[in-house]
Structure 1
């Protein structure tokens, strides 16, 4: 699945990385706890979170996460968006709650992969 398809499924707004929407993603992880993301996230994945701080960008960079999606209408500040852009991350925002957003992606065929 591509990030563009993910955007369309969630009706998300692209905040940074519009020119990278054709990147492939293989799995998704939804969490507000970065320790869980570090433990369970896979390469070429999407991170769905409601946590809006710089640690999210740093965690994504360490794990080769392709795209960050902020749920529940959360919007990162300009400093976070600048950090993400410098690192080549795609950042999107959706009004869906995390549970709903993860369910929509799962239903469309994007899974978490084996632990």
Structure 2
């Protein structure tokens, strides 16, 4: 799924944009526990979270993830935006809850990550 599609499906705001027309996000992973992300996430995944601190961007960077989605209208503080810019991480924000955002993405074809993948 392209970033543009994610933005449209979730009525999301793009806060930082390092995507291009070829950026493809295959999986979605939702968690506020970055330790879970470190254990399970693949690089071609969208990290969906309500956690709003620099650890989210550091986790994305460690996992070579290109995109983070903040839910529940969370907006990253300037330090988080700066870190995302430094690490070329695209940040999106949606007003939807985590459950609703995940549901809409799944309905539109995004796959989830299974613990045994």
TM-score normalised by length of structure 2: 0.92
User: How far apart, CA to CA, are the structure 1 residues paired with 2:40 and 2:97?
Assistant: 20
Q: Helix, strand or coil for the counterpart of 1:20?
A: coil
Deviations 1:47-104 (A, max 9, x none): 0100001100000001111210000011110111011011111001000000010010
Structure 1, gaps ≥5 residues long: none
User: Which residue in 1 is equivalent to 2:78?
Assistant: 78
User: Which residue in 2 is equivalent to 1:40?
Assistant: 40
Q: Helix, strand or coil for the counterpart of 2:79?
A: helix
Aligned length: 114
- Check whether the contact 1:4–1:21 (CA below 8 A) recurs between aligned residues: no
TM-score normalised by length of structure 1: 0.94
Structure 2, gaps ≥5 residues long: none
User: Which residue in 2 is equivalent to 1:20?
Assistant: 19
Runs of 4+ in structure 1 off by over 3 angstroms are none
